[in-house]
Chains A and B, each alone.
Chain A
Amino acid sequence: MVETLLEIHGLKTWFKTDDGMVRAVDGVDLRIDHGETLGVVGESGCGKTVTARSVLKLIDMPPGRFEGGRILWRGRDLIPLDDQEMNKIRAREIAIIFQEPMTSLNPVYTVGDQIAEVIALHQKLGRKQAMEGAAEMLRLVNIPNPQHRVHDYPHQFSGGMRQRVMIAMALSCQPKLLIADEPTTALDVTIQAQILELMHEMKDRFGMAIMLITHAMGVVAETCQRVTVMYAGKVVEEAPVGELFGQPRHPYTQGLIRSIPRVDRAAEKKQRLEAISGTVPSLLDPPPGCRFAARCRYASDICVREMPPLKEVAPGHFVRCVL
């Protein structure tokens, strides 16, 4: 039996605004096992990032608020922990990397100093040892000439290199789980592939799990074992990656997969790219029914009236749909 690292049950992270409560994450369940890669997909504003930041409790409160649910990290609920206790989990057990490698590093310190800071902070090492650790991390993420590059400043690195530095920093304390919040969105395609490859390599080396948040279905297909699809603050489908792409059950997932650009088909038939019509509903006081009903081609009366439960349609394949 593989150890379950992270289990989220019915997580609700809401934000108080002048117009009312925004239910950014409204009852999300997900699970990550030791050593696996879970993809979390959905369009912008569906709550992927808020879910990720909730896990590390990086949500500013106020305006944010946990309205309910539990975040179990190896069986221990993180929600009641204070900042000091969270700091023992951050980087040491769960680390995160962000979307924007250009701004995620402090411009006034060398990259070595920044990696060494994390190492020194968590492993209580002296500066010299920490700097050696930093150089070693840079070598692991394939930065050429790491002994010299540790003394360079972030602006002397390219976007892809900075993302490597971020990964080095996040992994410097060998966390069990790496949350990657759209790590490749800001990078061009060839660099994207390199970064994904690097993450995969690091995952094997350190035996960690990855929660990969993305909106690129192609990235998911290549790297993940299981996929959770989110829509408007809810999980709509969860399945092993092969099954999700082979037999998507939720109309939203089907729409997402159909909207993946296919170069070969477009060239042959001059087909227009298929899109899901409509926009994401407002998360301020959402209607009671299925959140996707307004854009769903199969929607019926019952969809508008009540929220369908998440039900298991095949082993490990859950769908929130009446169909």
Chain B
Amino acid sequence: MTVTQSAPTGVPAPAAAATATTRKKQHFSPWQEVWRRFRRHRLALASSIVLGLIIVTVVFGPLVWTVPINEIDFAAKLQGPSWAHPLGTDDLGQDVLARMIYGGRISLAVGLAAMVVAIFVGVLVGAIAGMASGKVDAALMWLSDLFLSLPTLPLLLLIIYLFRDSLKAVFGVEGGIFIMIVVVIGGLRWMPAARLVRAQFLSLREKEFVEAARALGASRTRQVVQHILPNALGPVIVAATIDVAAAIIQESTLSFLGLGFPPDIPTWGRLLADAKDYLDIAPHWALASGAAIFLTVLSINFIGDGLRDALDPRRVI
């Protein structure tokens, strides 16, 4: 009974045992534990700081950098970085920094919201398919195959063409288009998550710990929510980070085709699309928007990596 744990720890036994106990005494909330593990992942931590800075900038930037986003000044068009315009100006002489800050709000919001829609629908469909099996499973997988085989862009165009005006009427120009773009992008990106979750569920639900939970009186909902879902989340988190990136880029495609936000509302994608014609004379313009998208996507991916590792207690960090 009193065989202590310090015995097998090796040479500096008393010290190791002491630190082990003090660390264990500190805290025990699972989220604190996740945070402790997340902090060890250097890249993820740095990425959270970068993403945090980007978010703070786009949220509070307009309060500090009060240059209007649409002040046209042909005298100062396509200028490189200067004190008056830290990121230069575009082909209409508008301040790129102000447009970047404003556009970042939209791009980030679209990316995150579309990811939430895609992951929510995907997890729901995948979980139902994975638990139900049989006909329901077949039907849902058939549905996701159907969605996967749809040509995305023409469908987007069709949906936008059909619903743009009615949504605009209800939620206003920006709100209406925001909702539409999020639903359209998210609604066409849930299939990979659904298949991922279904595959995870199919293998996890046969695991003995699920049966043990069932044998000890856990209801079906509890089995799914408490025991299967948390074990399936690792790949879903990684998929979610990729979805954010893809949504930002897809939004830029739509804006580029003139089907997203109106041309006078800047988004990162739109800025990049506009800048590409002036790559040779004004590279700063494309570089600014490209770097913003790149940094955001990259840091979200690293955060996803770090989260996955931090949430998996088996992984030693």
Contacts and interface: CB of A to CB of B under 8 A. Distances in A.
B24 A151 contact: yes
A108 B1 CA distance: 27
Most A Cβ at <10 Å: residue of B214, B215, B222, B313: B215
Interface in B79-138: none
B164 interface: no
B230 A108 contact: yes
Contacts of A88: 217
Interface residues of A, number: 37
Interface string B198-221: 000000000111011111111110
Given A151-B24, A153-B314, A145 B219 contact: no
Contacts of B208: 98, 100, 103-104
Interface residues of B, number: 31
Contacts of A169: 212, 216
Interface in B274-317: 311-314
A109 B33 CA distance: 12
A56 B214 CA distance: 10
Nearest to A143: B1
B231 interface: yes
Interface in B14-47: 21, 24, 28, 30
A293 interface: no
Given A100-B208, A148-B21, A170 B216 contact: yes
B226 interface: yes
Given A108-B231, A144-B1, A155-B314, A58 B219 contact: no
A85 to B, nearest CB: 11
B133 to A, nearest CB: 10
Given A104-B208, A105-B209, A121 B28 contact: no
Contact of B4 (A91, A104, A122, A145): A145
B2 interface: yes
A90 B217 contact: yes
A106 B24 contact: no
A95 B5 contact: no
B227 interface: yes
The 6 nearest A-B residue pairs measured at CB: A90-B217, A91-B216, A87-B217, A106-B209, A153-B313, A103-B208
Interface of B: 1-5, 21, 24, 28, 30, 207-209, 211-220, 222, 226-227, 230-231, 311-314
Given A109-B230, A151-B28, 10 more contacts: A58-B211, A96-B212, A98-B208, A98-B215, A107-B209, A110-B30, A110-B313, A117-B213, A121-B216, A153-B313
